[in-house]
Amino acid sequence: MTYEFIAVERENALTIITINRPAVHNALNAAAHRELEAAFDAFEADGAQWVAILTGAGEKAFCAGHDLKQQAAGGGFETPSSGFAGLTARFGMQKPVIAAVNGAAMGGGFEAALACDLIIASERAIFALPEPRVGIAALAGGLQRLPREIGLKRAMGMLLTGRRVTAQEGFDAGFVTEVVPENVLAAARRWGEQILCCSPMSVRATKEAVLRGLSASVEEAMVAEWEYPAMKAMLASADFIEGPLAFAEKRAPRWKSHTP
């Protein structure tokens, strides 16, 4: 597929998706949403792609959120069924996604980052859900994900004021995985490479069990996880044998199960 507003690169089993609208701080219009949905659909369906990184072009912004100029011109608020950036409502995806936040992550841009499994942030990155300041609400998961990640009172301090938070404050609060002084994409690649050393079946089973377990008690989650699709696939996979065999033979594992 040919893209106008994003760029997609594949480096072995790593997919890098870049929002490419730097002139408008990578704000997303309807066409950009559709392109991101297509890119994540392709990533999810491709058994050869195990990990994705989402980032923004330029040095100023990861994603400034919804294109308010489009809305002001009567363009409405159109997002695909998979959510803002084709990601925030993609609840069933088992493959991990890393946000490489190189600048401002505002509104839906922050919500897209929160929908990722790791957030790697530049020191100059800022985060905010400023929707109440422009007569909107954070309807792409921010109202649900942020309180779960940093606690109710801290989250309400951001949600009710729309205030901006630095990368370091985000790390201290718990929604940022790592803060780096520069080259945030290189840092995200480093995290991606560490994930790629693991069995893709184990990674997907782990992600599914963690996220589905958040809405259950520890006991309920531990009982239920054996029946989760990714867990059952892992237990039946060749990787379930290859991992212990490689350990016993003192060699690097050769992961064999790459199904989506």
Same structural domain for residues 126 and 230?
no
Measure the CA–CA gap between 47 and 167, rounded to whole angstroms.
33
Active site (annotated) includes residue 149: no
The answer to whether 30 touches 73, Cβ cutoff 8 Å, is no
pLDDT surpasses 70 at 71: no
Measure the CA–CA gap between 55 and 182, rounded to whole angstroms.
14
Measure the CA–CA gap between 224 and 115, rounded to whole angstroms.
23
Same structural domain for residues 180 and 225?
no
- Domain total for the chain? 2
190 in a structural domain: yes
pLDDT surpasses 90 at 206: yes
- For residue 101, the enclosing domain spans 6-196
Same structural domain for residues 122 and 208?
no
Active site (annotated) includes residue 131: yes
Same structural domain for residues 239 and 141?
no
Same structural domain for residues 160 and 31?
yes
19 in a structural domain: yes
Instruction: Point out which residues pair with 181 in neighbouring strands.
Output: none
Segment 157-192, tens digit of pLDDT = 999 999 999 999 999 999 999 999 989 999 999 999
pLDDT surpasses 90 at 63: yes
Per-residue tokens: 150: 């940093």
pLDDT surpasses 80 at 73: no
Same structural domain for residues 75 and 138?
yes
User: Which of 35, 37, 44, 131 is the catalytic position?
Assistant: 131
Same structural domain for residues 157 and 224?
no
User: Which of 35, 37, 111, 225 is the catalytic position?
Assistant: 111
For the residues 70-74, what does the mean pLDDT come to? 59
pLDDT score for 135 = 87
Question: Average pLDDT, whole number, for the chain?
Answer: 94
